[in-house]
Amino acid sequence: MLFLATALPLGAQQPLSAIDWLSKSVQEKQPEAVLTPQRVEPQTPSEITVTTLDEISKDTVGLLPTAVSGLPRDFWGASSTYTIADLISQQRTDSLPELLTLLYRILLAEVDAPEADAARPVLLLARIDKLLDLGALEQAQALIERAGPTEADIFRRWFDVSLLTGHEDFACAAMSASPGFAPTMQARVFCLARNGDWNAAALTLATGTVLGLISESEADLLERFLDPSLFENEPDIPAPNPLTPLVFTMREAIAMPRPSGTLPLAFANIDLKRSAAWRTQLEAAERLSRTQALDPHRLINLYTQKRPAATGGVWNRVEAVQAFDVALLAGDLAKIENALPAAYRAMEQISLEVTFAEYFEPRLSPLQLSGVASQICFKIALLSSNYESSPKNIEPGNQKNQFLLGLAKGDVAGLTPPGVLGQAIAAAFLAPPPPSELLDLLTEHKIGEAVLRAMILMKNEAFADPGDITAALSTFRAVGLEQEARRVALQMLLLERRG
């Protein structure tokens, strides 16, 4: 059954959204006098249009020009800004890898803003927040800096990203250099202390506490941050929920324990520092790799950095990947065939098969493997970016493999689809139009909205309603996302896991 997601409250039935854990580091900018631009009389009014800088929308800002993203400048068309922002907030952070790749392109694309129905940069903020939900701090920071953190809502996100990437001093310097923003008392105390002005920090803390601008629990943490030696024999204070980057940074600085449970993905970035324990780096890298916030090379490089320190869990994965990497370096086919199944299975257990495929496929494609290793190599080839040209050593009598090869080339006519899932996929590649609900959006020139809604239809991936799968893939193909449709379909068939 086709289901078009309606706008939900931000974060509804989703992991903790970025907006829920952002620090209140700055107060709203005070309104300024509006200067009326001086009118300029053009010599040829019919050919020249004058636009003031204030009319340039931050929602248009992106990192990927059309030539790179492949998305048209009018991708959003006639859609409402708020509708698009809501649909972005509903996108999953644990989707199929190709859906995440498409999501990143949409979030970072430089396309025209939708209709101007928002006074604030609603769409830019929604894109930044989704990048933070994905743990993609570098991309979020670059997008913010391209747009310019000239508004309080944007600046506070930039401040928090700077904290989580270990650039506290830079964040504080930027705050001091931005007179248009009034730092909250907590942020002011933190930055004064970071700058070495301990007396001013203590005075600000005392003033904020007396005026009721700093709560008792906030004051307790700030006092410990300013002088930890005074509290050596005191029990640790519990972490607040949600934990903000500002509080997290102060707690880390004085070696207070982290709260139990899993923190938002953005916090994992701080564990990638070289000063962190290797296991901590590995676990953070695995989390961030699942959302494609981290380049595959960085994870594999971490796996092969040194010998595993123990057994079980992440150490078993390290051992398996290292054994496979060593076999490849040695060029020993027997050892490669022996090590590949264990290494792939280790990545399969943590849903990083595509990361593994992207890294190792170029080194595997020239090899002639046999047995189980050959079957895995075939799967790796189809999961990689070279899915159209790399697969080989297929068993001629295997109908599923024949269908997979046809799907990789976008031609499944005459092939037998495997099961209900295969039939739903085949239906989309036999050129049916998108269903009426999505087709209406395309007719109304709301391409981006149709794509986002189609992505939401795939929420359960291989276990989604067959009609929803056909609808989503048909929509992708109708708007020119042919390669994306093929890779999504291949991943559903090869990974077969619930989203």
Instruction: Please tell me the predicted confidence (pLDDT) of residue 44.
Output: 39
Neighbours of 316 (CB within 10 A): 16
| Confidence band, pLDDT 50/70/90 cuts, at residue 30 | very low
Q: Per the domain annotation, does 76 fall within a domain?
A: no
What is residue 183's three-state secondary structure? Answer: strand
Helix (H) or strand (E) holding 27: strand 26-27
pLDDT digit string, tens, across residues 131-142: 999 999 999 999
- Position 416 scores a pLDDT of 94
> Does some domain include residue 343?
yes
Beta bridge partners of 183: 26
Helix (H, G, I), strand (E, B) or coil at 64: strand
Q: Which two tokens stand for residue 303?
A: 């796996």
Average pLDDT rounded to a whole number, residues 315-329: 97
Domain interval for residue 314: 283-393
Residues in the chain: 499
CA–CA separation, 420 vs 493, rounded Å? 11
Q: What is the pLDDT of residues 44-98, one digit of tens each?
A: 333 433 444 445 689 999 999 999 999 999 999 999 999 999 999 999 999 999 9
pLDDT per residue as tens digits for the range 381-395: 999 999 998 776 666
Q: Can you give the pLDDT at residue 65?
A: 95
The answer as to whether 305 is a domain residue is yes
User: What pLDDT score was predicted for residue 76?
Assistant: 96
DSSP output for 368-383: ---HHHHHHHHHHHHH
20 has pLDDT over 90: no
Non-local CB neighbours of 425 within 8 Å, separated by 6+ positions: 407, 412, 417, 469, 470, 473, 489, 492, 493
Residue 409 lies in a domain: no
Q: What is the pTM of this model?
A: 0.89
Asked which of 106-115, 242-251, 453-462 is least confident by mean pLDDT, the reply is: 453-462
User: 267-272: which pairs have CB atoms within 8 A and are 24 or more residues apart?
Assistant: 267/164, 267/243, 268/135, 269/135, 269/137, 269/164, 269/165, 270/164, 270/165, 270/166
Orientation of helix 278-290 relative to helix 314-330, angle to 10°? 80
With 90 as the cut, is the pLDDT of residue 177 above it? no
On whether residue 340 sits in a domain, the answer given is yes
Has residue 151 been placed in a domain? no
pLDDT on residue 391: 73
Is 334 a member of any domain? yes
Percent of the chain with pLDDT over 70: 88
Q: How high does pLDDT run on average in the chain? A: 87
Task: Examine residue 408 and state whether it is found in any structural domain, yes or no.
Answer: no
Whole-angstrom Cα distance, residue 459 to residue 96?
A: 9
Question: Is the preceding omega at residue 242 within 30 degrees of 0, hence cis?
Answer: yes
Tens-place pLDDT, residues 418-437 = 999 999 999 999 977 888 89
pLDDT for position 395: 64
Confidence (pLDDT) at 2: 45
Position 201 confidence tier, pLDDT thresholds 50, 70, 90: very high
Reduced to 3 states (helix: H, G, I; strand: E, B; else coil), residue 90 is helix
Residue 283 pLDDT > 50, yes or no?
yes
- pLDDT of 225 strictly over 80: yes
Number of domains in the chain: 1
